[in-house]
């Protein structure tokens, strides 16, 4: 028996020894993946590419989380796979972009869970503990509650004299629905006394703004979820690689953004004015600050048609089915101006802000005509012309590949009196009639008075484009469903990196 035990211990040691670590993160390959799942049944795995900017930004927090879990003696571990080297693993687990993070539970690799929370160490740890432990940790001592609160950016504690009550069950149900915030429940008199709670309550403790919020109202799962989502983020949150998932993954889809250089002498004053205004719109509008000098944020400025020298500036955007932007009439950043702007938005009294460049003097000089917001309607909806338009972004790799083909198409049809080949930079120009979600987007505006718009979803070759035009916009036209599938292969206007943005799938 002793020999068997020694052999098993030796075998485990050999398995563990084969798995190298970098900053407490297991380095996984096809050759050791099965062994890793046997040695560490509950493991979070990041599939990354060495050149991916999002992966580089993620690395320090990911390593920090791995170190904390290891120091705790937790069975939970973090691993990483270089998907550019381990292409078989990437294909096996359907990795479509970088970083992709998946959780393998109980050594099962048949259906790993996609990681869906934030990119800070606490987010990884809280998410993992929620996935492997109770939705709400039971606190029996004040010291345990104190340790939990001190160790968490945000934590929600349910104070219930009877943890089997209806309200307590609603609390646990809510806890099961939120992955990125730790929940705890207590009936301990010591914990009640420590935090001066005298009756059944739900309290959100946080290391910013008010410090704590107490739930008021009927304790239903829906009401508790709304309470947590309204209070778990700071009144004003800075946009960074780490906070982006929380910003875009939250329930609040109306965002007001203040673009301001951190180095400006009045930075703190403007931030204070912005923050004071935010108090009136908690749970309705998310207030976001963006350092306009940071190189990492230049794509966002471009998306809103802004340049560094135009900041400070404020814009509002809705992230529903259609992304609609709004610009304040008064650009001065004061609490009163921000409040008035947000109030008009909530009341539905704002008109969308559509960007447009000035019409170039030589816009129709070349075979491919140059459209901007100010001349689009006149050209695209000319009742006597069939107009084929490419909506592009200057940084888009797919658009750069298409450019010489589009120029040849323009040359081929330059003598056709009823056909116009055109292009529009959709990062600097917007129109109400066409919403661009990916680049390039190709649309055909046939002659006639009915203002018809036809999506092109055929091959992007000179021959296919020519056949499409010669067929009157029929051969190569796609259904809405086909166009959606086509969009999956194109580049989003949000946050991809030059050269590799078609596989970098993060937000702005």
Give the residue numbers annotated as catalytic, written as ranges.
52, 55, 396, 399
The residues, ordered by sequence, that sit 6+ positions from 150 with a Cβ below 8 Å of its Cβ are none
Look up residue 111 and give its two tokens: 């259906």
The candidate with the shortest Cα–Cα distance to 399, out of 424, 365, 372, is: 424
- Residues in a beta bridge with 165: none
How many CA atoms are closer than 13 Å to the CA of 206, on its beta-carbon side?
Answer: 18
Task: List for the chain the helix, strand, coil content (%; round to 5).
Answer: 35, 20, 45
* Euclidean distance between CA atoms 454 and 444, whole angstroms: 5
Q: What is d(CA 110, CA 104) in angstroms, rounded to the nearest whole number?
A: 9
Residue 52 burial (CB < 10 Å; 0-12/13-18/19+)? Answer: buried
Please tell me the distance from the alpha carbon of residue 371 to that of residue 363, in angstroms, as a whole number.
Answer: 7
Asked whether 461 and 483 are in contact (CB, 8 A), the reply is no
Helix (H) or strand (E) holding 369, with range, is: strand 368-371
Residues 187/237, Cβ–Cβ less than 8 Å: no
Bridge partners for 159 per DSSP: 186, 201
Helices marked H in 166-316: 166-177, 189-194, 221-231, 244-249, 267-278, 298-303
């Amino acid at each position: 028996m002793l020999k068997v035990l020694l052999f098993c211990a030796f075998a485990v040691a050999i398995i563990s020894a084969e798995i190298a670590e970098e900053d407490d993160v297991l380095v996984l390959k096809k050759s050791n993946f099965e062994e890793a799942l046997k040695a560490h049944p509950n493991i979070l795995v990041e599939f990354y590419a060495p050149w991916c900017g999002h992966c580089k930004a993620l690395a320090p927090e990911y390593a920090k989380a791995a170190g904390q879990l290891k120091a705790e003696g937790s069975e939970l571990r973090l691993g990483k796979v270089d998907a550019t080297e381990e292409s078989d693993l990437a294909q096996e687990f359907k990795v479509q972009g970088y970083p992709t993070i998946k959780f393998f539970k109980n050594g099962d690799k048949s259906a790993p869970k996609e990681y869906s929370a934030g990119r800070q160490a606490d987010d990884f740890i809280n998410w993992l503990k929620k996935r492997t432990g109770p939705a709400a940790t039971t606190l029996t001592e004040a010291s345990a509650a104190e340790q939990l609160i001190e160790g968490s950016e945000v934590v929600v504690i349910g104070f219930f004299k009877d943890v089997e009550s209806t309200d307590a069950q609603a609390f646990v149900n809510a806890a099961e629905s939120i992955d990125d915030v730790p929940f705890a429940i207590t009936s301990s008199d010591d914990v009640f006394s420590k935090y001066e709670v005298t009756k059944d309550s739900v309290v959100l403790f946080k290391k910013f703004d008010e410090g704590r919020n107490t739930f008021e109202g009927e304790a239903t799962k829906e009401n508790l979820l709304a309470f947590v989502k309204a209070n778990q983020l700071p009144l004003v949150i800075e946009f960074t690689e780490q906070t982006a998932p929380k910003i875009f993954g939250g329930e609040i889809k109306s965002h007001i953004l203040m673009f301001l250089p951190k180095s400006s002498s009045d930075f703190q004053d403007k931030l204070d004015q912005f923050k004071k205004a935010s108090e009136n719109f908690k749970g309705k509008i998310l207030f976001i600050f963006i350092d306009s000098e940071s190189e990492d944020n230049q794509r966002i400025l471009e998306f809103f048609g802004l340049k560094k020298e135009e900041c400070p500036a404020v814009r509002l955007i809705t992230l529903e089915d259609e992304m609609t932007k709004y610009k304040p009439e008064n650009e001065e950043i004061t609490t009163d101006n921000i409040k008035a702007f947000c109030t008009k938005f909530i009341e539905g009294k704002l008109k969308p802000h559509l960007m447009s460049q000035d019409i170039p003097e030589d816009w129709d000089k070349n075979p491919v005509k140059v459209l901007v917001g100010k001349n689009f309607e006149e050209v695209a909806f000319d009742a006597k012309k069939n107009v084929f338009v490419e909506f592009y972004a200057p940084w888009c790799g797919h658009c750069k590949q298409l450019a010489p083909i589009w120029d040849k198409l323009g040359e081929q049809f330059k003598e056709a009196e009823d056909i116009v080949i055109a292009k529009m930079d959709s990062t600097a120009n917007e129109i109400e009639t066409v919403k661009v979600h990916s680049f390039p987007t190709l649309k055909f505006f046939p002659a006639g008075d009915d203002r018809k718009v036809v999506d092109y979803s055929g091959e992007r070759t000179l021959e296919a484009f020519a056949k499409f035009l010669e067929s009157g916009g029929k051969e190569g036209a796609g259904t809405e469903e086909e166009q959606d599938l086509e969009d999956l292969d194109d580049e989003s206007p949000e946050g991809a990196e030059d050269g590799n943005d078609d596989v970098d799938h993060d937000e702005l």
